Amino acid sequence: MSKTNNTYSLAKSLHHINIAREYMLDVKRDAHSNVKNMFTNYITKCDYILSGVRDMLSEENRIVFKKELKDSFLIEAINDKLIHLDENEKIEVENFIDLIIKKSKNEKQKKLNGG
């Protein structure tokens, strides 16, 4: 999903819902009676939102949606590691990611141009 027409915000919100859903499943596993029922309801609400968005998408975008949500915990794991870095180290990581993205875009452009 690109950063146009609010798709960036949509993708981010869906990642957060997906992550929250997984944490709620974890809480539910160790919970008892009322708490378990309460978290079952929360999980159902997350599923409702995720399914509702998925159902509105074209088949092509559903494939992207599924891949994006599959990466939710990878992104979360990276964020968990970033909190241990100081500000300069975070900037280095951001610059490195920018270089990777630029390289990827250049390679895709070369393929489109037949090179």
Alpha carbons 69 and 34: distance in angstroms, whole number: 29
Conformational region of residue 85, where left means phi above 0, alpha means psi within -120 to 50, and beta covers everything else: beta
Q: Provide the pLDDT confidence category of residue 115 given band limits of 50, 70 and 90.
A: low
Alpha carbons 67 and 70: distance in angstroms, whole number: 5
Task: Report the predicted TM-score, pTM, of the whole model to 2 decimal places.
Answer: 0.69
- Say which residues have a Cβ less than 8 Å from residue 17's Cβ, sequence separation at least 6: 46, 49, 50
Q: How far is CA 93 from CA 71, 72, 73, 99, 102, in A?
A: 19, 19, 18, 10, 14
pLDDT of 4 over the 80 cut = no
Residue 86 sits at φ, ψ, to 5 deg, of: -80, 175
Instruction: Give the pLDDT confidence of 80-104 residue by residue, as tens digits.
Output: 999 999 999 999 999 999 999 999 9
Instruction: Give the pLDDT confidence of 35-64 residue by residue, as tens digits.
Output: 999 999 999 999 999 999 999 988 888 888
> With pLDDT > 90 as the criterion, what percentage of the chain qualifies?
57
